Structure 1
Amino acid sequence: MVPDSPSAAPGDAAAPAASPAHARPATPARVLLRLLLPAIVVGVLASLLFLTVSGLAESLRDVLWETVPDALGIGRYSSLWMITMLTATGIAVGLIVWKGYGHAGADPATTGLGGPPAPPGTVPGLLAATMLALAGGVSLGPENPIIAANIALAYWLGRRAAPAVPGALWVALASAATIGALFGTPVAAALVISEALTQQPGPGRASLWDRLFAPLAAAGAGAMTTTLVAHPTFAMDLPVLTHPGWGDLLASLVIATLAALFGLVGCYAFPPLHAAFRRLRHPMVMLPLGGLLLGLLGALGGRLTLFKGLDEVRELTSDVDAWSAGELAKLTVVKLAALLIAAACGFRGGRIFPAVFVGSAFGLLAHALVPEVHPAVALASGVLGVLLATTRQGWVSLFTAAVLAASPAMLALLCLATLPAWLVVTGRPQLELDDAGHSLH
């Protein structure tokens, strides 16, 4: 989660007297304006780092999955090549985790969207391990390690450039900027930060929008940089729902709840799976074995179950009626298993994007079983339920599902579908562990 808001940071230098719980002191405009330039700089640089890592990973992916197998006369996504490639990726990442400075950062099973700054010396190993995992077909996304790298760099550089500025400012700016860059919009960052701020004590703190000012500027700069350079889109080739009815509402409620239950299966399985890999003790055993298992799962589920999952969701939705219920069920189960193994064995990467694929396949499975269910309703509700279960971040889950549906008419359905799904997941384990290997709730 995002730490303390930077908009409260100016108060660290000259904290006002504590005010009653109902009072929200306004931050002077001149204080907010002083935050604007650092926020924009951090936003642009965070986006450029994300785009650089993603671009290098895409180029390496083309070499590993097209150039090399073509030169060897092996099928690009044959079972043999998938098993070989994922195992080799496990060996390469294992070497970085074993020998690299800082061991490529913290155990990815214990990290979320944000966290305390790591030593800057860990960043090269973390980014190298992330690029290899993204290119090699591991079922993880770039979000967690990119955020961690940007936090480490922003904190280290910011404390040297402006030592009087509280460290929490740089951490929050880097978190917001990277989330904005990842999603191509500052809205996602604002939602994540707002959710984090509700967990902090309120008396004497500045108003919400004062505290959001600098992070929103960083997120906007990061999002615009990504948009101008890479033109990202989350749009899926789905028919648009314009006039939802009672049947659509019922379908959304049921699918989101069932998807949340399915996501919880993975959350309950995660701690023992993580413990089993940790008993192997050495990264040169854990990661190659994890890569081998991922290769076998890829051979079982096919190439759509590889990689972070967003491009694969687009392919999945390009012709929703081309997939049978059996094929979609296999994709759903195999992708969830691949996500669990990848995160448990030590590959560096995030869990949101592969969880989106799991939720999309689950939703389209519901559409295949009951064709009367609108595909946009099915997919968005499936994504909503799985993300609620795995991340326990309601706003991000709702935002992601709504963006994929690309229909304002879906918002009311998804807001209502969130309610029963949240009742299912609240207080239950999520797909993140503490340092002792126990599930966060």
Structure 2
Amino acid sequence: MVETSEGEGAERLGARYARVLALAGLVGVPVSVAAFAFLALLHWLTDVVWEDLPEHWGLDPVPWWWPAPWLLIGGALVAVAVARLPGGGGHVPIEGLSPDPVPPSHLPGVLLAALGGLPLGVVLGPEAPLMAVGAAFAMILTGRWVARGQESALVSTSGSAAAVAVIFGSPLVAAVFILESAGRAGVRQTAVVLPCLLSAGIGALVFTGLGEWTGLPVSSLQLPGLVIPARPDLADLLWTIPLAVLIAVGVRQVHHLGRRLVPHAARRPALMAMAAVAVTAVAAAAYALLTGRSPVEVLLSGQDALGMFTEKGDVPGTWALIALLALKGLAYAVSLATLRGGPIFPALFLGAAAGALLSGLPGFGVAAAMAAGMAAATAAILPLPVSAAVLVTLLLGSGSAALAPIVLVAVVVAFVSEQLIDRAGKRAEPAAEAV
């Protein structure tokens, strides 16, 4: 009797998992359509505000004051979503990426916070809202066919994977991010892996077809114009270690400022959202006035601006890079704590900027420095070391094999450094309180 009962239980469990797997595959199609619409709208709004309107009014280059009114509008929209709508506008980005299921009732707040803030200058990326959109949409589509609990969580997570597959440029990267995030949250990865891979693969395929069919430009992560050497030099590897440590220290400062703002944002979310966009507007204006460059470089996620650091881009000078790191880092810190969006793309941008700044060191090539900077920043900000390594390796394209040792060393050094700095800070806090 016992053997029969266990066999029947395993058979029922296998049937339920097969049903979840089938639903994950089906969900990938409509979720990718929703993700495509979201990204297309986000791209269109961004172009209208930062390219079409300034060009129409003869504001070329964009003046220092241009971001202020748009940021205030965006801050007001985010404030409404955070303070008034269910779900508070989505996950707080300083907490990283969340694989948790998103109830459909939270979807209006997530969309308002993302579409109201991201295209108007908020220094965050679209990956977290995309995950929430995918999760909520998957629940809307399959709510009557899956039971609450683990089945519901698996379908929701597969929806997130399908939604973010294209923004990372590969369904593999999306699946790795989802799986590593789920592992940190205590979700059993063996159960999540197949639905995520299936949904992300189908989602990426449908997304690619929609892009070709509609002709609409939708941003995905890319690094044009970077000349990658056949192999890195020993100097590249040696310079990678202090660069990764330096970036880990910088990320710690960003997190420290953001963490100090989180309690205030929890008590006064609308006020802090407006304060954050005000700080961002001042940072953008200061950058433009100090460097003579566009204030837009301090704004947005930086996803479409990575090419500015390559040999074919309009690379800022040394002092401009220092100002960019300081001022965009400040805007990034306040955005992480008080606004809504994803933490990955600004970290990639700042890591690339740090690499470009230090690429003038003896023997440190531009490609190796940028690869190390991006890998270290991503690993330190999340921290998801495997995801950071996979993302940056695929971002480098066909030459990624040559720089893979640089990427891996940067990820490990930054991750370990950030963890040690974090533990040291936690030990120092009780001592300071005791004094």
TM over 0.5: yes
User: What is the CA–CA distance in structure 1 between the aligned matches of 2:331 and 2:299, rounded to whole Å?
Assistant: 8
Structure 2 vs 1, CA of residues 102 and 221 (structure 1 numbering), >3 Å: closer, same or farther? same
Counterpart AA for 2:285:
A
TM-score, with structure 1 as normaliser: 0.81
- Paired residue for 1:382? 373
Deviates more, 1:152-161 or 1:258-267: 152-161
Q: 1:394 aligns with which of 367, 370, 385?
A: 385
Whether 1:132 aligns to 2:116 is yes
Counterpart AA for 1:339:
Y
- Paired residue for 1:8? none
User: What is the CA–CA distance in structure 1 between the aligned matches of 2:11 and 2:249, rounded to whole Å?
Assistant: 46
2:133·2:160 contact (CA, 8 Å) conserved in 1?
no
Whether 1:342 aligns to 2:335 is yes
Q: 2:281 aligns with which of 291, 295, 299?
A: 295
Alpha-carbon shift at residue 359 of structure 1 (Å): 0.5
Structure 2 vs 1, CA of residues 102 and 400 (structure 1 numbering), >3 Å: closer, same or farther? closer
Deviates more, 1:289-298 or 1:245-254: 245-254
User: What is the CA–CA distance in structure 2 between the aligned matches of 1:35 and 1:98, rounded to whole Å?
Assistant: 35
Deviates more, 1:75-84 or 1:61-70: 61-70
Q: 2:247 aligns with which of 248, 255, 259?
A: 259
Alpha-carbon shift at residue 129 of structure 1 (Å): 1.8
Q: 1:352 aligns with which of 341, 344, 368?
A: 344
Counterpart AA for 2:66:
W
Taking every aligned residue pair, what percent have the same amino acid on both sides?
28
Helix, strand or coil: the match of 1:296? helix
- Paired residue for 1:243? 231
User: What is the CA–CA distance in structure 1 between the aligned matches of 2:102 and 2:37, rounded to whole Å?
Assistant: 20
User: What is the CA–CA distance in structure 2 between the aligned matches of 1:105 and 1:314, rounded to whole Å?
Assistant: 30
Structure 2 vs 1, CA of residues 133 and 96 (structure 1 numbering), >3 Å: closer, same or farther? same
Q: CA RMSD in A?
A: 3.1
Alpha-carbon shift at residue 93 of structure 1 (Å): 2.4
Counterpart AA for 2:229:
L
Q: 2:9 aligns with which of 4, 9, 14?
A: 14
Helix, strand or coil: the match of 1:141? coil
- Paired residue for 1:286? 272
Alpha-carbon shift at residue 107 of structure 1 (Å): 4.0
User: What is the CA–CA distance in structure 2 between the aligned matches of 1:47 and 1:295, rounded to whole Å?
Assistant: 34
Counterpart AA for 2:196:
P
- Paired residue for 2:45? 60
Alpha-carbon shift at residue 55 of structure 1 (Å): 1.0
Deviations 1:216-241 (A, max 9, x none): 11111122223333474523311112
Counterpart AA for 2:379:
L
Runs of 5+ unmatched residues, structure 2: 1-5, 213-219, 288-294, 424-435
Counterpart AA for 1:360:
A
User: What is the CA–CA distance in structure 1 between the aligned matches of 2:164 and 2:206, rounded to whole Å?
Assistant: 12
- Paired residue for 2:427? none
- Paired residue for 2:305? 312
Structure 2 vs 1, CA of residues 44 and 89 (structure 1 numbering), >3 Å: closer, same or farther? same
Alpha-carbon shift at residue 321 of structure 1 (Å): 7.9
1:88·1:288 contact (CA, 8 Å) conserved in 2?
no
Counterpart AA for 1:46:
V
Structure 2 vs 1, CA of residues 75 and 429 (structure 1 numbering), >3 Å: closer, same or farther? farther
Structure 2 vs 1, CA of residues 275 and 60 (structure 1 numbering), >3 Å: closer, same or farther? same
Counterpart AA for 1:133:
G
Alpha-carbon shift at residue 282 of structure 1 (Å): 4.8
Alpha-carbon shift at residue 76 of structure 1 (Å): 6.2
Count of equivalent residues: 400
User: What is the CA–CA distance in structure 1 between the aligned matches of 2:415 and 2:76, rounded to whole Å?
Assistant: 39
More helix by share: 2
Q: 1:225 aligns with which of 206, 226, 229?
A: 206
Structure 2 vs 1, CA of residues 223 and 429 (structure 1 numbering), >3 Å: closer, same or farther? farther
Whether 1:422 aligns to 2:422 is no
Runs of 5+ unmatched residues, structure 1: 1-10, 18-26, 431-441
User: What is the CA–CA distance in structure 1 between the aligned matches of 2:348 and 2:60, rounded to whole Å?
Assistant: 28
Structure 2 vs 1, CA of residues 293 and 75 (structure 1 numbering), >3 Å: closer, same or farther? farther
- Paired residue for 2:217? none
